[in-house]
Amino acid sequence: MRNKKTNTQKKVNLDGLTNVITIDVEQRGKPSIKNSPKPKTEAEKSRRTYRKVTKDTAVKADSVQKKAVSKPLSTSTKKTKTPKEPQRKTPVRIIPLGGLNEIGKNFTCIECANDIVIVDCGMAFPDAELPGVDIVLPDFSYVEKNIDRVRGMVITHGHEDHIGGIPYFLRKMNIPIYATRLTIGLIEGKLKEHGLLESAKLNVVTPRQTVKFGCMAVEFIRVNHSIPDACGMAFHTPAGVIVHTGDFKVDYTPIEGGIIDLARLAELGNKGVLALMSDSTNAERPGYTMTERKVGESFTKLFGMADGKRIIIATFASNIHRIQQIVDNAVKTGRRVAVSGRSMVNVIGKSIELGYLKVPDGIIVDIESINRYAPDKLVIVTTGSQGEPMSALSRISNGMHKQVSVTPDDFIIISATPIPGNEKHVTKVVNELMKSGAEVVYEGMYEVHVSGHACQEELKLILSLTKPKFFIPVHGEYKHLKKHASLALSLGIPESNIIIANIGNVIESDGVDMKITGTVPAGRVFVDGLGVGDVGSIVLRDRKLLAEDGLIIAVATIDSTTNEILSGPDIVSRGFVYVRESEELMTEAQKILYDTLQSCLDSHTREWNVMKNKMKESLSSYIYSKTKRSPMILPVIMEV
């Protein structure tokens, strides 16, 4: 690159990398594709090296021989040379802003010199502690303040916890995004819903392709996961190579595509890996993760058991490999496939369009037309494997689905494991389905689900292949990160070289050391409806209070001339007690409020805030003494 800014930066070692896309730092968002010089054959390299070495060696040997003849032998003892200090290089910084000590909202910055590359931009679903919140995003404020240094965003795969935050990010900062074909297709669907597709800068890459961003180059490496086209990455920086696995497993017999590129990971390990950032989701599970083909074998058995019945299968919309196996079994047994659930319809449509899902003509039928088919000629694929209240399967279970009603002729398979926290929702759905007479199969009864994340032996394999100097476990709660760290320790990585970080930590390395050197703003941003970031801790506290103890509104009217109470105080209760059944409590509460208000007027107190606070304090004290509850109290004073 010719711009001045790049000339001052240290070169990135790109030996062995081909098909490199170079980003011009001065023209961010306008990549120029440059074909790398054709690599020389080993024979050519050998001949060139032989000529150079032979000539140099001959000159050096002749010189040494002359010195040996003319110089007498010395009996003095040679001084021991002081070891040279290891060479420190341009520092690289790793700044995780999501995905550590939590599941979801993965978002990480890798930066060196004047360049920042973002890895993933995900979201998380709210837990019970966040009433009314729709989704949770990472805090983008650090990136906003440094947007002039951001060169692009690279995405590991198309799951919501890795791409769900992209529309909200692009509303503020429109930067180039690089990902594989299916991942870009799923991102396009999300951006279209948000009206952002036309302005987006989306770029398709393939495994083993490298994109150069200023002082660093990002190499995409194929991995296996529960969605096709997943990639890990190698960041080639002046300080060394940082390998980021993304979400992965090792599947030697994948349904579609190649196996994880262990050869490239081993090659990087042999050349030297500065740091490994590895998926910790299943770090507590011993052994290996089963191949996805095991689920297909179970489907074949279960389809045979469902003779004469309609089959309904709930699974994750993004698990294209599983849906492919459902389609294959449907074709073998002469069934049509109907799809229910908006996300399922969108993902299947995009996967068929891009060729990742192979479906014979006429197999997919509209959900509106399912009554035309006999039960034993139909399979319904639906969302809702986590028992989400508004999902298609939940609506089917409670009789609210417009097209599907459960009958004893239904054979239902829930092809997923409940995410921690969703167990009660899933159990409720299963119970309701069984009450309707359906036969329900779920994990634990048959092998109808396998994880998309690596277990301990696979994690150790990646550690052994890459041989990192430093190790940073990522993607998991603290217990997962800690267990993954212990696996690395068992393989000989020194404890001092293992970093368990928090979001917002700045992890810095100059190629010699790696340590946490500071923090940047990090946290959670809540999306509620169309509002982004307008729900904070105070709003959530009020929502919890309202949900737990309800609300009391006390209304009084005062004559501004005579300082007399003209009406009230009247009490309105919502979510606290039913007034008609608690007349004695409400009557006494009104009397206390009247006395408090009158006392304020008698003492010539006219500041509304003071009067409201006294009303609130007196009523709160009385209510708690009688009920041991603390409802939200909202005093209202009107002056006429």
CATH number of the domain that residue 582 is part of: 3.10.20.580
φ, ψ dihedrals at 293, nearest 5°: -65, -25
- What whole-number distance in Å separates Cα of residue 311 and Cα of residue 307? 9
What is the H or E stretch that residue 434 is in?
helix 423-435
Is residue 317 predicted with pLDDT exceeding 80?
Answer: yes
Is residue 152 predicted with pLDDT exceeding 60?
Answer: yes
What is the H or E stretch that residue 637 is in?
strand 632-639
- What whole-number distance in Å separates Cα of residue 241 and Cα of residue 549? 55
Residue 251 lies in a domain: yes
231: nearest Cα among 257, 194, 195: 257
Are 150 and 265 found together in one domain? yes
Sheet containing strand 524-528, edge to edge, reads: 135-138, 524-528, 531-532
The mean pLDDT value for 263-279 works out to 98
318: exposed, middle or buried (Cβ count in 10 Å: 0-12, 13-18, 19+): buried
Are 389 and 467 found together in one domain? no
Are 102 and 236 found together in one domain? yes
Q: Which of 9-13, 348-352, 470-474 shows the lowest per-residue confidence on average (mean pLDDT)?
A: 9-13
> Concatenated DSSP letters for 240-304?
EEEEE--S-B--SS-SSSPPP-HHHHHHHHHH-EEEEEEE-TTTTS-S-PPPTHHHHHHHHHHHH
- pTM, two decimals, is 0.78
Return the structure tokens found at 234. Answer: 């190698």
Asked whether the beta carbons of 208 and 19 are under 8 A apart, the reply is yes
List CB contacts of 79: < 8 A, sequence separation 6 or more: none
Is residue 432 predicted with pLDDT exceeding 70?
Answer: yes
Are 232 and 352 found together in one domain? no
DSSP 289: P
CATH number of the domain that residue 356 is part of: 3.40.50.10710
Percent of the chain with pLDDT over 90: 59
Domain boundary among 412, 442, 472: 442
Among the listed residues 453, 475, 480, 484, the single catalytic one is 453
Report pLDDT for 366: 94
| pLDDT interval class at 52 (50, 70, 90) | very low
Is residue 417 predicted with pLDDT exceeding 60?
Answer: yes
How remote is the C-alpha of 20 from its chain's centroid?
27
Report pLDDT for 108: 97
Return the structure tokens found at 527. Answer: 């999306």
- Which structural domain range is residue 283 located in? 92-288+451-516
94: nearest Cα among 569, 460, 504, 566: 504
Question: Catalytic annotation on 321?
Answer: no
Are 176 and 300 found together in one domain? no
Report pLDDT for 56: 39
361: exposed, middle or buried (Cβ count in 10 Å: 0-12, 13-18, 19+): exposed
202: nearest Cα among 230, 182, 178: 178
Asked whether the beta carbons of 107 and 100 are under 8 A apart, the reply is no
Q: How far is CA 27 from CA 1, 30, 143, in A?
A: 11, 6, 18
Question: Catalytic annotation on 410?
Answer: no
| pLDDT interval class at 82 (50, 70, 90) | low
Q: Tell me the angle at which helices 262-271 and 456-466 cross, rounded to the nearest 10 degrees.
A: 40
| Greater model confidence, 187 or 547 | 187
φ, ψ dihedrals at 284, nearest 5°: -85, -15
Return the structure tokens found at 617. Answer: 């304090």
Question: Which contacts (CB < 8 Å, 24+ apart) does range 53-62 have?
Answer: none
Domain boundary among 424, 442, 460: 442
The mean pLDDT value for 533-553 works out to 66
Report pLDDT for 63: 40
Report pLDDT for 306: 93
Residue 592 lies in a domain: yes
The mean pLDDT value for 421-430 works out to 86
Are 183 and 297 found together in one domain? no
* Locus of tokens 């010189």: 63
Sheet containing strand 240-244, edge to edge, reads: 32-33, 20-23, 210-213, 216-222, 231-237, 240-244, 273-279, 468-474
Q: How many domains does the chain have?
A: 3
| pLDDT interval class at 601 (50, 70, 90) | confident
| pLDDT interval class at 14 (50, 70, 90) | low
End-to-end CA distance of the chain: 75
How remote is the C-alpha of 96 from its chain's centroid?
12
How remote is the C-alpha of 553 from its chain's centroid?
42
Residue 45 lies in a domain: no
Are 381 and 324 found together in one domain? yes
Q: How far is CA 306 from CA 261, 375, 411, in A?
A: 39, 10, 6
| pLDDT interval class at 76 (50, 70, 90) | very low
Q: List the beta bridge partners of residue 249.
A: 224
- What whole-number distance in Å separates Cα of residue 632 and Cα of residue 553? 8
Report pLDDT for 628: 80
Return the structure tokens found at 536. Answer: 């904070």
Residue 22 lies in a domain: no
List CB contacts of 509: < 8 A, sequence separation 6 or more: 91, 92, 94, 239, 240, 274, 275, 470, 515
The mean pLDDT value for 605-623 works out to 82
Are 438 and 455 found together in one domain? no
Is residue 150 predicted with pLDDT exceeding 90?
Answer: yes
Residue 21 lies in a domain: no
Residue 12 lies in a domain: no
- What whole-number distance in Å separates Cα of residue 159 and Cα of residue 190? 12
Provide the sign of the torsion angle of the four alpha carbons 389, 391, 396, 397, taken in this order.
Answer: negative
Are 268 and 373 found together in one domain? no
> pLDDT tens, 440-475?
998 888 999 999 999 999 999 999 999 999 999 999
Outline where DSSP puts E strands in 267-342: 273-279, 310-314, 336-340
Domain boundary among 483, 516, 549: 516
Report pLDDT for 12: 57
Among the listed residues 161, 251, 261, 279, the single catalytic one is 279
Most confident of 41-45, 93-97, 314-318, 618-622: 93-97
The b-or-e profile of 173-183 (16+ CB within 10 A means b, else e) is eebbbbbbebb
Residue 87 lies in a domain: no
Q: Which of 14-18, 369-373, 491-495, 547-551 shows the lowest per-residue confidence on average (mean pLDDT)?
A: 14-18
* Locus of tokens 């729709």: 134
Residue 556 lies in a domain: yes
Report pLDDT for 20: 65
- What whole-number distance in Å separates Cα of residue 280 and Cα of residue 298? 27
Report pLDDT for 585: 82
| pLDDT interval class at 83 (50, 70, 90) | low
Report pLDDT for 532: 62
Are 477 and 588 found together in one domain? no
Length of the chain equals 640
- What whole-number distance in Å separates Cα of residue 225 and Cα of residue 261? 12
Q: Which of 53-57, 216-220, 528-532 shows the lowest per-residue confidence on average (mean pLDDT)?
A: 53-57
Q: Which of 231-245, 350-364, 415-429 shows the lowest per-residue confidence on average (mean pLDDT)?
A: 415-429
Are 242 and 369 found together in one domain? no
CATH number of the domain that residue 117 is part of: 3.60.15.10
Average pLDDT, the chain: 84
Report pLDDT for 66: 37
| Greater model confidence, 526 or 82 | 526
Are 365 and 420 found together in one domain? yes
